[in-house]
Amino acid sequence: MADPVAGQVTGGETQSRGRVFGPLRARGVVLIVLLAGTVVAAAGVRVIPVLEHGASAYRTAIGVKAFVVAYRILSVAAGLVFLAWFRRARISAEGRGWHQRFARAWTFWGWIVPVANLWIPLQIMDDIWQASFPRRPRGPVAWLPTLWWANWTLWGALLVLNRGTVVVLQLWWTSQPPDPAALGHGSTGPYQPDSWPSLIAFAVAGLALISIVWTVSHGPLAVPAAAPRPKASAAE
């Protein structure tokens, strides 16, 4: 005869697992879609002028503008969803046999605090990645998070270098304030890759992050650790 108490406990555990761990997998799927769309939109900004070489300037500008708008919308949405996923993955990584070097709050502040934002997000992602493989030998370096971060920081460095060069050249040649349009299709909104090298770095970082999100969201961190079952009371 089935134990009604055990059934209630099992059912409660199942519902709790669904509430706690379901969002990680769901957020991962949404994030992957947004990241893929952002990479495609960024590529479109650079590729459209090449594909429409010889077409009218107006037609090319319309095509590029559509991808610029899509990039700005998708990149903002992807950033917000990533922060939610990042925090949930960090929480899920606790108690998985790999020390988490930073508190949960650093999944947000690690991106904001100057200088510290050059390495803290990578170390948090590295800890999450290592914790997602509890039953296999862990290497000293998590190569996929390292690939993601190296290309992400390279993209940022190229962006600053390219935009700084434009500013210096305009000030040198014309002694006039730099044209905002020359600094990346306008002065407001997220900056898209403004050269082929920066686009390559951005795309590699995006694809690496997609692989990380998929692996973590569908790996052991998406499954709750076995909860201790309550001891059955002795029959009276």
Q: 3-state SS string over the chain?
A: CCCHHHHHHHHHHHHHHHHHHHHHHHHHHHHHHHHHHHHHHHHHHHHHHHHCCCCCHHHHHHHHHHHHHHHHHHHHHHHHHHHHHHHHHHHHCCCCCCCCCCCCCHHHHCCCCCCHHHCHHHHHHHHHHHHCCCCCCCCCCCHHHHHHHHHHHHHHHHHHHHHHHHHHHHHHHHCCCCCHHHHCCCCCCCCCCCCHHHHHHHHHHHHHHHHHHHHHHCCHHHCCCCCCCCCCCCCC
pTM listed for this prediction: 0.75
**pLDDT tier, 61 (very low <50, low <70, confident <90, very high otherwise):** confident
- Percentage of the chain beyond pLDDT 90 is 45
Q: Minimal CA–CA distance to 47: which of 34, 59, 64?
A: 64
44-48, 87-91, 205-209: the lowest-pLDDT one: 44-48
Mean pLDDT of 126-154: 84
What whole-number distance in Å separates Cα of residue 185 and Cα of residue 29? 30
Q: Amino acid identity of 206?
A: G
The answer, yes or no, to whether residue 141 has pLDDT greater than 60, is yes
Q: In this predicted structure, what is the pLDDT of residue 235?
A: 45
The answer, yes or no, to whether residue 136 has pLDDT greater than 80, is no
Q: In this predicted structure, what is the pLDDT of residue 154?
A: 94
**Ramachandran quadrant class, 186 (left: phi over 0; alpha: psi -120 to 50; beta: rest):** left
Q: In this predicted structure, what is the pLDDT of residue 10?
A: 39
**pLDDT tier, 195 (very low <50, low <70, confident <90, very high otherwise):** confident
Mean pLDDT of all residues in the chain? 77
The answer, yes or no, to whether residue 12 has pLDDT greater than 90, is no
The answer, yes or no, to whether residue 224 has pLDDT greater than 90, is no
**pLDDT tier, 229 (very low <50, low <70, confident <90, very high otherwise):** very low
pLDDT tens digits along 79-124: 999 999 999 999 999 888 788 999 999 999 999 999 999 999 999 9
What whole-number distance in Å separates Cα of residue 233 and Cα of residue 236? 9
Q: In this predicted structure, what is the pLDDT of residue 132?
A: 87
- First CA to last CA across the chain, in angstroms? 17
